[in-house]
């Protein structure tokens, strides 16, 4: 074994070993006090720990033959990633308290202390226009108010939540169910890059780990555990979002739900959550007010009215917003057309469209098309 190993390297080595996982590492740390001591222990010492079999003890004691630590470190460095372990000051304190909390996170971007004040936003991948509109409104308002919006980078509600937080010039964290080198879904790579510039993309998995049907629900415990509260925007009666909601409840978090039509399957899960005691919300202020009651010293303080809740009056537009308003005024258009006709970058168009929606200057249509809002009618 290396004569000198940093704490981060030791956690990384443990994370690369197969069949260990956070719960076993927690038990091992109770016995050996540090990850370095775990890696230095003999098979006989390791096997005395509950739930550590002979085979697993041998795997740990011969860890240098089991993993390519230097190779993984090179992948991390080549991609400009950093590692955050559970003893770091920036590791989310609420997540640290979770029994099966990850002990190591790969970070693309930067975690900041203000990200400890976070609200999770989850919902259906096959979201309706109502669900997407609700996710955008709530996430924009929460990010504008100072909360970090956490979601899973999936299609549908997750994507809308991240984009709205960015449009509000706020912080957002994407927790993914794969290694950062195998980001899924691939079409969200551009969004992930923007998130990394204004927050972080995080994973507990090695860089090249491919997502599978187990990794997605497992990553949801991080969203639930990191967050002060969890907003479920839209979910059918059988949904991964409801699993995340249960994980949040199990960890003592407040669950908020957006109501929907009783005859829509896409709203069945949220309506049932409300029936079972989740807090019904219609606006980001509902969450903020509740969090100020629950965490008066820690929750972000309520700012002046956000663009989406401000009283009627003259609307001030930025240069980019005015360009897009003028372009959309020529007629309904797809986002790709707006990028071409406006001369703005794709990222600028995406975030600017979100702000214009919040200012009620435009309206999103199915198929990523946009139209002007008719006023004075």
| Same domain assignment for residues 46 and 132 | no
Q: Residue 310 domain-assigned?
A: no
| Same domain assignment for residues 48 and 121 | no
329 pLDDT higher than 90: no
| Same domain assignment for residues 155 and 288 | yes
| Same domain assignment for residues 120 and 255 | yes
138-160 pLDDT per residue, tens? 999 999 999 999 999 999 999 99
* 329-334: average pLDDT: 85
> Measured over all CA atoms, what is the biggest interatomic distance in the chain, rounded to whole angstroms?
80
Local structure of residue 266 (DSSP, 8 states)? G
Q: Residue 312 domain-assigned?
A: no
| Same domain assignment for residues 88 and 143 | no
Q: Residue 194 domain-assigned?
A: yes
Q: Which residue from 249, 188, 179 is spatially nearest to 221, judged by alpha carbons?
A: 249
| Location of structure tokens 């994507």 | 159
199-237 pLDDT per residue, tens? 999 999 999 999 998 898 889 999 999 999 999 999 988
- The pLDDT score that the predictor gives to residue 292 is 78
Q: For residue 83, what are the β-bridge partners?
A: 106
301 pLDDT higher than 90: no
- DSSP letter string over 165-180? HHHTT--EEEE-SS-G
- Which of 105, 127, 148 terminates a domain? The answer is 105
Around 311, how many Cα atoms within 13 Å sit in the side-chain half-sphere?
1
Domain count of the fold of the chain: 3
**In 61-127, beta strands by DSSP E:** 82-85, 104-109, 118-122
Q: Which structure tokens are listed for 347?
A: 């990222």
| Same domain assignment for residues 42 and 167 | no
| Same domain assignment for residues 228 and 94 | no
CATH of the domain at 367: 1.10.10.10
- The pLDDT score that the predictor gives to residue 14 is 97
| Same domain assignment for residues 129 and 199 | yes
Q: Which residues contact 160 (CB under 8 A, 6 or more apart)?
A: 127, 131, 132, 135, 136, 139
Classify strands 369-372 and 362-365 as parallel, antiparallel or unpaired.
antiparallel
Q: Is 141 left (phi over 0), alpha (psi -120 to 50) or beta?
A: alpha
* 251-273: average pLDDT: 91
| Same domain assignment for residues 165 and 202 | yes
Separation between Cα atoms, residue 165 and residue 351, nearest integer Å = 9
| Same domain assignment for residues 212 and 350 | no
305 pLDDT higher than 70: no
> Binning pLDDT at 50, 70 and 90, where does residue 373 land?
confident
Q: Residue 299 domain-assigned?
A: no
> Binning pLDDT at 50, 70 and 90, where does residue 295 land?
low
CA 7 to chain centre: 26
- The pLDDT score that the predictor gives to residue 312 is 44
98-123 pLDDT per residue, tens? 989 999 999 999 999 999 999 999 99
CATH of the domain at 152: 3.40.50.450
Q: Residue 183 domain-assigned?
A: yes
CATH of the domain at 60: 1.10.150.20
Exposed/middle/buried for 146, CB within 10 Å: 0-12, 13-18, 19+? middle
- Which of 294, 327, 347 terminates a domain? The answer is 294
Q: Residue 304 domain-assigned?
A: no
Q: What percent of the chain has pLDDT above 90?
A: 63
Determine contact, residues 257/281, Cβ cutoff 8 Å. Answer: yes
* 257-262: average pLDDT: 90
Q: How many CB atoms lie within 10 A of CB 19?
A: 10
> Binning pLDDT at 50, 70 and 90, where does residue 296 land?
low
- The pLDDT score that the predictor gives to residue 121 is 97
> Binning pLDDT at 50, 70 and 90, where does residue 375 land?
low
* 277-289: average pLDDT: 90
Domain, as residue range, for 151: 115-294
**In the chain, beta strands by DSSP E:** 82-85, 104-109, 118-122, 148-151, 172-175, 199-203, 229-232, 254-257, 279-280, 333-334, 362-365, 369-372
Range with lowest mean pLDDT among 63-77, 225-239, 342-356: 342-356
Determine contact, residues 132/364, Cβ cutoff 8 Å. Answer: yes
Of residues 313 and 221, the one with the higher pLDDT is: 221
Q: Which residues contact 156 (CB under 8 A, 6 or more apart)?
A: 123, 124, 125, 126, 127, 131, 132
Q: Which structure tokens are listed for 111?
A: 């975690």
Q: Residue 309 domain-assigned?
A: no
Classify strands 199-203 and 172-175 as parallel, antiparallel or unpaired.
parallel
Determine contact, residues 195/164, Cβ cutoff 8 Å. Answer: no
Q: Residue 342 domain-assigned?
A: yes
* 171-193: average pLDDT: 96
3-state secondary structure of 255: strand
377 pLDDT higher than 50: no
| Same domain assignment for residues 175 and 267 | yes
- The pLDDT score that the predictor gives to residue 287 is 92
| Mean pLDDT of the chain, nearest integer | 89
| Same domain assignment for residues 181 and 290 | yes
Range with lowest mean pLDDT among 63-77, 163-177, 307-321: 307-321
14-52 pLDDT per residue, tens? 999 988 999 999 999 999 989 999 999 999 999 999 889
């Amino acid at each position: 074994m290396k004569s000198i190993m940093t704490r981060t390297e030791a956690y990384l080595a443990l994370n690369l070993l197969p069949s260990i996982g956070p719960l076993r590492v927690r038990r091992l740390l109770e016995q050996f006090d540090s990850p370095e001591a775990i890696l230095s222990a003999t098979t006989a010492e390791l096997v005395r720990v509950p739930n550590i079999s002979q085979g697993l003890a041998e795997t740990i004691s011969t860890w240098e033959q089991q993993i390519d630590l230097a190779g993984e470190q090179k992948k991390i460095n080549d991609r400009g990633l950093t590692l955050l372990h559970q003893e770091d000051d920036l590791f989310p304190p609420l997540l640290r308290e979770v029994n099966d909390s990850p002990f190591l996170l790969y970070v693309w971007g930067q975690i900041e202390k203000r990200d400890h004040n976070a609200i999770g936003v989850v919902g259906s991948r096959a979201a309706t226009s109502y669900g997407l509109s609700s996710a955008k409104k709530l996430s924009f308002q929460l990010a504008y108010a100072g909360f970090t919006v956490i979601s899973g980078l999936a299609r549908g509600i997750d994507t809308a939540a991240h984009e709205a937080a960015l449009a509000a010039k706020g912080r957002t964290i994407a927790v993914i169910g794969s290694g950062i080198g195998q980001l899924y879904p691939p079409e969200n790579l551009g969004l992930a890059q923007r998130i990394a510039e204004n927050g972080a993309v995080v994973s507990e998995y090695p860089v090249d780990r491919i997502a599978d049907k187990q990794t997605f629900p497992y990553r949801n415990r991080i969203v639930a555990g990191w967050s002060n509260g969890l907003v479920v925007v839209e979910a059918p009666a059988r949904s991964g979002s409801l699993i995340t909601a249960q994980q949040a409840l199990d960890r003592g978090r407040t669950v908020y739900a957006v109501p929907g039509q009783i005859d829509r399957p896409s709203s069945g899960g949220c309506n049932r959550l409300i029936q079972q005691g989740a807090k019904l919300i219609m606006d980001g202020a509902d969450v903020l007010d509740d969090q100020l009651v629950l965490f008066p010293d820690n929750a972000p303080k309520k700012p002046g009215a956000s663009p989406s809740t401000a009283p009627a009056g003259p609307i001030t537009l930025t240069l980019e917003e005015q360009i897009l308003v003028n372009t959309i005024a020529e007629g309904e258009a797809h986002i790709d057309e707006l990028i071409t006709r406006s001369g703005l970058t794709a990222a600028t168009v995406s975030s600017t469209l979100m702000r214009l929606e919040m200012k009620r200057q435009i309206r999103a249509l199915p198929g990523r098309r946009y139209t002007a809002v008719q006023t004075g009618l």
